[in-house]
Structure 1
Amino acid sequence: MALQDDLTQEVTGIFGAAWSSRDGLVVPSDTSVTLGNDAVKIAATVLYADLADSTILVDNFRPAFAAEVYKSFLHCASKIIKAEGGAITAFDGDRVMAVFIGDSKNTSAVRAALKINTARIHIIQPAINRQYNTSFVMNHVCGVDTSSLFVAKTGVRGSNDLVWVGRAANYAAKLAALDHSFPTWITGDVYEMLAKEAKFAGGGSGENMWEPRTWTAMNGLRIYRSTYKWTAI
C-alpha cells in the first residue's frame, strides 16, 4: 500500500471510530492507554517548569556548559516534583511537564514550583558560580493551571506518547513562557484552591505571596504571579 493510501486510511479511521473513555483515579501511563480511540479522563493540575533564555545560553556558551545547566535544572525540578507527589509526563528540551491529582493537587503543584525557585537560587546558581567565572545567570518560569484532561495516545507503534488534551496543559505551558522576572505564574482557579501555606508567607500567617494580573492574551483571565521561594526544600 502506498504511503498516501495508508495515511488516508488511518486518518479516516481516527475521525470515524467511536471513542472509549473512562474516568481515571491515577495519572495515566504509557501502558494504560492504547493507540486506538482510547482515553482516560482525569481532574488534574499541570505544572510546566521551563528554563528561560535557553537560546541565549546555547548561542553564547560552550555546549558542555549549556548541557550542565539543562541537566542541573531538570534534575532539581524533577526530584522536587516527585517529592511533592507529581507525576512527570514529558520532557521537551529545556522544560518538564508534570501532572498532580488528588485533593491537594493545586497546593502540591504550587509548592513544587516555589521549591524549584528555591533550588535555582540557593543550589544551582551558587554551584555555577563556584565552578565557573561566568556572567551566566539562570532564570526560569513555572506555570500552573488546573482543569479536566482527556488523555490519549498519539503517534505510531514503537514511537508514541500520551497527549494531554485540556486547558490545564495548554495554559500551564503558556504561563511558563511569561516574564521570568516572576518565576511562578498560576491561574485564578489554582489560586482559589491553595492552602494558606502556599498563599501567604510565613507558613500561612504573613503577607500574600501572589500578585493578581489580567492575562489580556487569554481573554482577560485572572492570573497570579510571584517572586517568592519556599523556605526549605
Structure 2
Amino acid sequence: MAEAISDGCPDCAGQLLELCDELLARASDFPDPGEFIGLVAARLTAIGLPILRLAAGGELLHPTVEGMGWRWRPSTGVEALMMERRESWDVEEWIKSPIRHLIETGGQSIQLPTDDDRLAAQFPILAELRQEGVTEYLLFTERVRGALRITVDNDVWVSFAHGGRFRIDQATAKGLGRIASILVLIIQANAALVTVRTLLSVYLGDDAAQKVLDGNVLRGRADPISAVIWYSDLADFTKITDEKPPKGVLALLNDYAATISDELARHGGNVLKFTGDGILAVFQQDDGAARALAAVDDTRRVVAQLNERRAQRGAPTTSVYVALHHGELLYGNFGSTTRMDFTVLGQAVNQVARIAALSRSLDQPVILSEAFALAAPAERHRLVSLGRYALRGVTRPQNLFTLDPTA
C-alpha cells in the first residue's frame, strides 16, 4: 500500500528563514552560481527537505547562447547548462514546460505534485521527475527589472523538486520563494559579469578585452608593440554587393569572416577590426611570422572547403587576398571621450593596407612585405620575390614576396 502524503515539512519554515540570512550574508560575494546552488541543496536537505533536483537559470545577452543554467542532483552534483540560441523555440519540451507557462501567463510561482496524471500530461517533466522519486515540484520565476536587467524580457527561474512524503505548506513555500529570490540575485549578478566579458571579447577581441578589464580605459593610453600584421579581404566583393541582395551579402560576409577569424584565432592571431570585407589582425608572439604563414595555408584550405559547401547550395563564392607585414605599432585606446576603439595605429598598418591593394593588380592571393621576410628567416625558403614596388604614401619602393607553390 502506498505511503500516505502528509501536509507540511516539520519545522521547515523557521529554518528556511535562518537559511535566507546565511545566503544573504554570502550574496555580496557573488560566488559562482553553481557552487551556491550546491550549497542551497545541501542546506535544504539538512533541514528536512529531501531535495532530489534543484535547477535555476536565466537569459544571456550573447551572440550564440540563449541562456545559462545549473542543475543539481544528489548523484551528479551541479551541472552547468548552456542553451544555444535558436531562431524559434517551438520544440515540445519548451512548449509544455512549466517555465514557459509561468512566463506567458505572468505567474510567479507554481506548485505541482508529480502523481497527478492530468498535470503530467500538461507538463511532461513531472513524469520524468516522478521516475526519479520526486513527489512535488515547485517553480519560481522572476522578471528582472531596473538596473540589473540585461535583456528586454529578462526572466530568471528557480525550481525545487523534493522526494518527501509530504506537501509543501504555504509557509514553507514562502520561504523557498525567498531563497529563490536570493538565487535570482546571484544568477543575475553572474550573468552581468559574463555579459560584460563576452561582449568585450566579441567586439574588441580576447586580448584587447582583457586589457580593458585590467584597467586600460584611458583615452590615448597605448603601448608600443612589435608584431606581424595581417590584412585580408575578399575577391570581387564590390561586384557581389552589386549583384546580390543585402541579406545574401550579409550571409556571405558572416560565412567568410567566421571561417577566417576562427583560423586566425587557432594560430594565435588577434583579430582587431572588421572593415567591410577586410580583416585586420596581429600576431605578437616570437614565432608570429611562422604562425601567420601557417594561418595563411590553413585559411586558404578552409575557404576552399567553404566554397564547396556554398556552391552546393547555389550561394555565391569568393576567395581571400592576404597581405602580411611586420612593424612597430601603438596598441591601445584611441578616440573621443565618449567613443573609443581599442586597436593598433602606426605607419605599418597603412603599409599593409597598401600592400593588400596590390593583390589584384599583381594577381597574387598572398603578398608579403620585405619587413615580414626579414622577420621570418626560418621561412625564407618558402618566399619568392615579386620585385620592387612603390606604395602610395611610402617614401621608398618596397621588395615584395609571395609564397613559392613548389616550396
Q: TM-score range by the shorter chain?
A: 0.7 to 0.9
Task: Give me the whole-angstrom Cα distance separating, in 1, the residues matched to 2:403 and 2:244.
Answer: 29
Match of 2:252 in 1: 69
Point out where structure 1 has 5 or more consecutive residues left out of the alignment: 1-25, 201-207
Match of 1:150 in 2: 330
Task: Give me the whole-angstrom Cα distance separating, in 2, the residues matched to 1:212 and 1:115.
Answer: 23
Picking from 349, 372, 386, the partner of 1:212 is 386
What is the identity, as a one-letter code, of the residue corresponding to 2:340? N
Q: How does the TM-score come out when normalised to structure 2?
A: 0.43
Distance 1:156 1:37, change over 3 A: closer
As a proportion of its length, which structure holds more helix? Answer: 2
What is the identity, as a one-letter code, of the residue corresponding to 1:71? N
SS at match of 2:359: coil
SS at match of 1:178: helix
Tell me whether 1:140 sits opposite 2:314 in the alignment. Answer: no
Point out where structure 2 has 5 or more consecutive residues left out of the alignment: 1-205
Please list the CA deviations of residues 10-69 of structure 1 after superposition, one character each: whole Å capped at 9, or x if unmatched. xxxxxxxxxxxxxxxx96556153333322111111101211222111101222322222
Q: Cα offset for 1:177?
A: 2.0
Greater alpha carbon shift after TM alignment, 154-163 vs 90-99: 154-163
Picking from 59, 84, 106, the partner of 2:267 is 84
Distance 1:188 1:72, change over 3 A: same
Tell me whether 1:188 sits opposite 2:370 in the alignment. Answer: yes
Task: Give me the whole-angstrom Cα distance separating, in 2, the residues matched to 1:169 and 1:229.
Answer: 30
Match of 1:54 in 2: 237
Task: Give me the whole-angstrom Cα distance separating, in 2, the residues matched to 1:193 and 1:154.
Answer: 28
Q: Cα offset for 1:77?
A: 0.8
Task: Give me the whole-angstrom Cα distance separating, in 1, the residues matched to 2:404 and 2:317.
Answer: 16
What is the identity, as a one-letter code, of the residue corresponding to 2:329? L
What is the identity, as a one-letter code, of the residue corresponding to 1:170? N
Q: Cα offset for 1:222?
A: 0.7
Match of 1:171 in 2: 351
Task: Give me the whole-angstrom Cα distance separating, in 1, the residues matched to 2:328 and 2:208.
Answer: 13
> For 1:103-114, what aligned pairs fall within 5 Å after superposition?
103-114=286-297
Q: Contact 1:118–1:229 at 8 Å: present in 2 too?
A: no
SS at match of 2:322: strand
Larger radius of gyration: 2
Distance 1:227 1:92, change over 3 A: farther
